[in-house]
Structure 1
Amino acid sequence: MTRAKKAAPRTRSSSARTQSKSVNRIGRSLRALVITAITSFGAATYLLNPHWRPQFSLDQILSYLPRPASQEQTAPIAKPTGAMVQTTFVSCPQFFPDGKLPAVPASQGLRELCFSAFAVLHSGQTKTPVFVAERLNRKTLSQAQGLQRTDKFYADARLPKAERSDLDDYKGSGFSRGHMAPAGDMSTKEAMAQSFSLANMVPQDQTHNAGPWSRIEQDTRKYVMHAAGDVYVFTGPVYAEKPKTIGFGVAIPSYIYKVVYDATTGRSWVHWQANAASTKAGPPIDYAEFVRRTGMQLLPASQH
């Protein structure tokens, strides 16, 4: 079993984004040149020979040219192969029950990030979290009540540039920057500010984010306020084999989950919702079903 990397500050930026922009500019320029040439040739030919008809359509010719990247492009996501990655989270083990750290299916670019109120396992392949872990209790949520949102989103500089999402990726996408660790859970000003790291975000349907998913977050806080002790919460995305993307390769999840584990009672349940405007509130699934669907082992072995 391999181990996930711990994210560290990087000084060297990748050229992947620059190369992608260059390819898009070349593609657009080439298409514009072809369109102009074909239009000019067609107009001149028609003046000389009004009965002439082209043998190929403009669409047929353009189909052979590269297309600029768009929101509808897809990014291949490797299926789990059975190999597992054991996380370590050396700097923030407090966010995991009984010190038992999660294991997840292996994939490229897994990095661990520790914040003051949550921990993130980040995927450089999807440019989003694999999961975000929190430890909540009545005391922390009482401190969170009334704390003002900052709404200052930012790209996380601890991640390599080629593996992270940026503010421009979400502009004009039609998707919300969906918190995995909610701002409403944050108990200090520092934690509130950190919760707006894009490493804590996924592209989320706006209607779903503001509706059914918001109610799940509120109901989870209500449960924690009545719980006897710590409640551990894991939140994250689930992707189709080839998910659509926004911006420069930020994958759009098909589903979003929230695993809730009461360490005092041993109870656990999982909210599992489609990332879509049509999603309605429904009953949670059990943890064993979640493991079967995702291959992720987030809770202590006794919960399997």
Structure 2
Amino acid sequence: MKRLVAVSLAVSFVFPAFKAFAENCVFSCPIGLSGQTITRSIYTLNNNPQTKFANWVAYHVTPETIDGPSRSRNWKADPKLDDESTLEPNDYKGAWRGIGTDRGHQVPLASFSNSPDWRELNYLSNITPQDSDLNQGPWVKLENAVRSLVRSGQDVYVVSGPLYETFFAALPGADELHSIPSGYFKVIVSEVHGLVEASAFIMQQNASRRDDYCATQVTIDEVEARTGLDIMPVLPDESEEIIEGLLGKLAMRLGCS
């Protein structure tokens, strides 16, 4: 029986006006793992040359970025990465037949279908092998919930990335060493006029397509402990315990009761 572990934090707190470190990040981009950071107009990511996948990706979803036309999937190696630091399209050959994985976008294509730079989402630095049931089940349902919230007029910042807690599988067609994640996290943050709300989710590769992303709620502290990341490194110390250490309300606006 497949299981999904979903974790969520949501809490409100008022801050003075704050300018994001980068347009794609709020309270600065994550720190704590080494790799090459690449910033583009619609996302920032930190690539791990050992695993061949991003340590994290960060992006800002707005009403202007969503609801464009359906976009194609034309996979390419990231031109900003050395060949030995990332995978190539041929490495994914036989992945679905062999281990049941899709090419999963960490920054969703549908969240930037109205952006002129949407093609950059098909770089393999933004792709990881995701179990088909996860990718087409609770993972995409959470992405849809984020876009539904944004359609209400609410911008959100998202940080997403992998977990490496157990061995999952290896790409049967890959000709270089890599490490497929055992699960994934997603942290969703809303910041409006100093009012901050945040939610976090963790989903395992062995999730069922029918699993509910709202199933289990914990804190961002839990995500940071399991990833080794500081998700919002310039969040004021006096507020970190409240924002990252307590459960709250944003999950309710993402469809969780």
**TM bracket (short chain):** 0.7 to 0.9
Q: CA deviation at 1:140?
A: 2.6
**Which residue is equivalent to 2:111?**
185
1:266 aligns with 2:188: no
Q: 1:96 to 1:152 in 2, by over 3 A?
A: same
**Which residue is equivalent to 1:200?**
126
**Which structure has the larger Rg over C-alpha atoms?**
1
1:169–1:250 contact (8 Å) kept in structure 2: no
SS at match of 2:129: strand
Give the Cα–Cα distance (whole angstroms) in 1 for the partners of residues 45 and 33 of structure 2: 16
1:176–1:205 contact (8 Å) kept in structure 2: yes
**Which residue is equivalent to 1:254?**
182
CA distances 1:205-259 after superposition (whole Å, capped 9, x unpaired): 012111111101001111222254x311011111136664321223211111110
Percent sequence identity over matched residues?
A: 25
Give the Cα–Cα distance (whole angstroms) in 2 for the partners of residues 209 and 242 of structure 1: 18
Q: 1:242 to 1:261 in 2, by over 3 A?
A: same
1:296 aligns with 2:229: yes
**Which residue is equivalent to 1:151?**
73
Give the Cα–Cα distance (whole angstroms) in 2 for the partners of residues 96 and 178 of structure 1: 21
CA distances 1:70-120 after superposition (whole Å, capped 9, x unpaired): xxxxxxxxxxxxxxxxxxxxxx8211114x2321234xxx10112221111
Scaled by the length of structure 1, what TM-score is found?
A: 0.63
Scaled by the length of structure 2, what TM-score is found?
A: 0.73
Which amino acid in 2 is paired with 1:291?
A: E
Give the Cα–Cα distance (whole angstroms) in 2 for the partners of residues 209 and 295 of structure 1: 24
Give the Cα–Cα distance (whole angstroms) in 1 for the partners of residues 160 and 49 of structure 2: 17
SS at match of 2:122: coil
Unaligned runs of 5+ in 1: 1-91
Pick 1 or 2: higher relative contact order, CA cutoff 8 A, min separation 6: 2
Which amino acid in 2 is paired with 1:151?
A: R
1:124 aligns with 2:49: yes
Deviates more, 1:286-295 or 1:178-187: 286-295
Q: 1:105 to 1:189 in 2, by over 3 A?
A: closer
SS at match of 1:223: helix
Which amino acid in 1 is paired with 2:190?
A: D
1:166 aligns with 2:88: yes
CA distances 1:13-50 after superposition (whole Å, capped 9, x unpaired): xxxxxxxxxxxxxxxxxxxxxxxxxxxxxxxxxxxxxx
Q: CA deviation at 1:288?
A: 1.7
Give the Cα–Cα distance (whole angstroms) in 2 for the partners of residues 286 and 226 of structure 1: 25
CA distances 1:96-147 after superposition (whole Å, capped 9, x unpaired): 114x2321234xxx10112221111111110001111111222333xxx132
Give the Cα–Cα distance (whole angstroms) in 2 for the partners of residues 163 and 215 of structure 1: 31
Give the Cα–Cα distance (whole angstroms) in 1 for the partners of residues 166 and 132 of structure 2: 23
Q: Which has the higher helix share?
A: 1
Unaligned runs of 5+ in 2: 1-20, 245-257
Selected match of 2:143 from 210, 217, 236? 217
Cα RMSD between the aligned structures?
2.0
Q: CA deviation at 1:189?
A: 5.2
Matches within 5 A, 1:37-116: 93-98=22-27, 100-106=28-34, 110-116=35-41
CA distances 1:272-298 after superposition (whole Å, capped 9, x unpaired): 100125362223432122112222111
